[in-house]
Amino acid sequence: MTPRLHDYVLSASCYKVRLMAALVGVRLDLVAVDFHPGREHKGPAFRALNPAGTLPVLETGELVLTESTAMLVWLAQGHPGWTGDGSRSAAAQVQQWLAFSARLAASLGMARLHDMLHFPADIDGCRLAGIDCLREVEAHLFEARLAGRLFLTGDRPTIADIACFPNVALAPDGGVGLEPYPGIRLWMRAIRSLPGFIEMPGIHRLHELRPAPERGAA
Amino acid sequence: MKTGGRVTNWVANGLSRDVVAGVVVPGRWQGVDLAIWRSATGVLRAWKDRCPHRGMRLSHGFVRGEGLSCIYHGWTYGTDGRCRSIPAHPDLVPPAAIRAEALDCAEADGVIWVAGAGEAGPLPAVTGLVPLRSLALHALPGQIAAALPGLRLFPGGLRGVVVLGGIQTSLCLLLQELARGQTMIHALCGPQDDPVAVSRGLEDLRRSIEQGVAA
Ligand code: FES
C-alpha cells in the first residue's frame, strides 16, 4: 500500500516526514487531521490509532509508527547514504542527532506552539533552551566545516539533518532569531537546495532557483 | 566604536566566507538594520534593511544574478542600488529615484566591514590573523572588554595574546552591537592556532561572560 501519513500542515514533525518522503521520492497518502482548533488527535477515533494522541502517525501497511524519527528511518531504508555511510561511527552520529532533535522539539518547537497556537509553556525557559541547542548546532557545524563537511554527520545529508532542520528553521516563529548563526544559515541553504526539497508555511524553497519571471509576461 | 580616543565608523559585519555568492544576510551598523548581500559574481553590498517600495526587510529577500529581489512584491535592485524591475509592471522602466539606501562596505583580511556612506576613514587592520568564526553573546561590548583584561582595545574591537581553550592564542575579537543587548563577536586567531581549540575556548568564554552579566 501507499504509506499513509496522518498529517497537520503546520506541524514541524509532520513536515519532517513529508520532506524526507519527497527527498527519497516516496509518495505518501496524506490524511489531514484537524489538530487546531479541532483537537481531532485527542479524540477516540484517533486514539484508537495512536493512544498517545500525537501527530504524525505513519501507517506503512505493516506498522503504525508514532515517532517521526522512526518514520525517517523507515522512509530512508533502501536509499543508501540517507542513514549514513554504513560505518559504525556514522550510524552512532546519526542516532546522536536523532535524539538531539527531540531537544529541539521540546525547546524551539514548544516555543513555536506557544506563540502560534497558545500552548501552555514556560516560554522563557523554552527559548533559552532553544538558544543552547542552536549554539550547539552552530559550534558543531563550524567544526564540521573545518573538516570539509557541510552536513551534521558528513559531506552529504542524512536523516539526522532532516530530523533537525524543521525546528531550527522555524525558530523565529517561537521568538528565537536565527541572525547570529552563520553556519546554520549555510547548512539550511544546503538543505533547501536539495533536489526534491518541498516547502511548508514558514520554510520556503530558494526563490533564486526558480526562473526569473519573463519580462513582459504579465 | 570609540576606542582609546580614536574613532572609526567601520563596524565588522561578518566574515567573508560566511557570505557566499548569491546570499543575503542581516547586518547592523550603529543601531541601523542592514541587508548585506553578495551577487553571483561576488560584488558585496550593504544596504539599509528596508525596501523602498513598502519597507519590507530586504534581508528576507533573495539574490538572483547581480540583483537583490524583495520577497514581498519582487522589486529587484541592481548593485548600484537602482530599482531594475517591478514584476507588477513589467513594461515600466523604474524611475531612477527608486533606489536602495547604501552604506559603505569593504572587505579585507577575510572580514566584512560596514560604515556610514562617505564618512569612513581607513579600515582597521587585522593583518597577520586568520578569520575563525562569528558568535553572539548576551552582553555589551564594554562587558566583554571588562572580562578580557589581557586584550587591548583597538578601533573595531579587542586584540592581544591570551590563553583560551588551554592554548595560548593571538586573538582578535571584532565587536558588533546587535539589538536587545547582544553583541556579535567576529573572531580571528593566529594562523598556527588550533581553530577547534580556540572555537571551544570562545564557547567557554561566552558562558562565563553571560553568567557574569546575569549575576
Ligand atoms: S515591499 Fe519590497 S517589493 Fe514591495
B23 and A207 within 8 Å at the Cβ level: the answer is no
Domain ranges within chain B, ordered by starting residue: 2-115, 130-214
Pocket lined around ligand 1, Cβ cut-off 6 Å: B 51, 53-54, 56, 70, 72-75
User: Among all chains, which residue has been given the C-alpha cell 533606489?
Assistant: B99
Please report which confidence band the pLDDT of residue B2 belongs to, taking 50, 70 and 90 as the band edges.
very low
Residue B63 phi, psi dihedral angles, 5° rounding: -100, 130
Which of A139, A182, A208 has the CB atom closest to B18's CB atom? A182
B130-214 has CATH 3.30.310 classification: yes
| Per-residue pLDDT, B78 | 98
Residues of B in contact with A182 (CB under 8 A): 14-15, 18-19, 25, 133-134
Report the separation in Å between the CA atom of B33 and the middle of ligand 1, taken as the mean of its atom positions: 17
- Reference B40, options A212, A141, A182; nearest CA is A212
Which protein residue's CA is at the shortest distance from atom 1 of ligand 1? B54
CB atoms within 10 A of CB B185: 26
A173 close to A26: Cβ distance less than 8 angstroms: no
- What distance lies between CA B33 and its chain's CA centroid? 11
pLDDT in tens, B132-191: 999 999 999 999 999 998 899 988 899 999 988 788 999 999 999 999 999 999 999 999
Domains of chain A: 4-76 (3.40.30.10), 88-195 (1.20.1050.10)
User: Among all chains, which residue has been given the C-alpha cell 533552551?
Assistant: A129
Confirm or reject contact between A183 and chain B (CB < 8 A).
Answer: yes
- Reference A164, options A104, A96, A90, A92; nearest CA is A104
Q: In angstroms, what is the C-alpha Rg of chain B?
A: 19
Answer yes or no: is pLDDT of A218 > 60.
Answer: no
B69 and A207 within 8 Å at the Cβ level: the answer is yes
| Per-residue pLDDT, A80 | 87
pLDDT average, residue stretch B197-211 = 95
Least confident of A29-33, B125-129, B193-197: B125-129
Confirm or reject contact between A147 and chain B (CB < 8 A).
Answer: no
Which of A142, A206, A218 has the CB atom closest to B133's CB atom? A142
For residues B154 and B177, give the distance between their C-alpha atoms in angstroms, rounded to a whole number. 16
pLDDT average, residue stretch A14-40 = 96
Answer yes or no: is pLDDT of B4 > 70.
Answer: no
CATH of domain B2-115: 2.102.10.10
Please report which confidence band the pLDDT of residue B3 belongs to, taking 50, 70 and 90 as the band edges.
very low
Please report which confidence band the pLDDT of residue A210 belongs to, taking 50, 70 and 90 as the band edges.
confident
Q: Which grid coordinates belong to B72? A: 514581498
Please report which confidence band the pLDDT of residue B7 belongs to, taking 50, 70 and 90 as the band edges.
low
If you average pLDDT over every residue of chain A, what do you get?
Answer: 95
For residues B129 and A172, give the distance between their C-alpha atoms in angstroms, rounded to a whole number. 34
Percent of chain A scoring above 90 in pLDDT: 93
Answer yes or no: is pLDDT of A215 > 70.
Answer: no
- Omega prior to A157 cis, within 30 of 0: no
Pairing verdict, β B130-137 and B167-177: unpaired
Which of B87, B91, B135 has the CB atom closest to A180's CB atom? B135
- Reference B114, options A77, A136, B123; nearest CA is B123
| Per-residue pLDDT, A213 | 62
- Does this chain's domain B2-115 share its CATH topology with B130-214? no
Percent of chain B scoring above 70 in pLDDT: 97
If you average pLDDT over every residue of chain B, what do you get?
Answer: 93
B90 close to B73: Cβ distance less than 8 angstroms: no
User: Among all chains, which residue has been given the C-alpha cell 557574569?
Assistant: B212
Please report which confidence band the pLDDT of residue A214 belongs to, taking 50, 70 and 90 as the band edges.
low
Choice between B164 and A115, residue whose per-residue pLDDT is larger: A115
pLDDT in tens, A121-151: 999 999 999 999 999 999 999 999 999 999 9
Answer yes or no: is pLDDT of A216 > 50.
Answer: no
Write the CA distances from B162 to A73, B151, B186, B187, integer angstroms. 46, 7, 16, 13
Answer yes or no: is pLDDT of B91 > 80.
Answer: yes
pLDDT average, residue stretch B48-65 = 97
Please report which confidence band the pLDDT of residue B213 belongs to, taking 50, 70 and 90 as the band edges.
confident
User: Among all chains, which residue has been given the C-alpha cell 553571483?
Assistant: B40
pLDDT average, residue stretch A75-81 = 94
pLDDT average, residue stretch A46-68 = 96
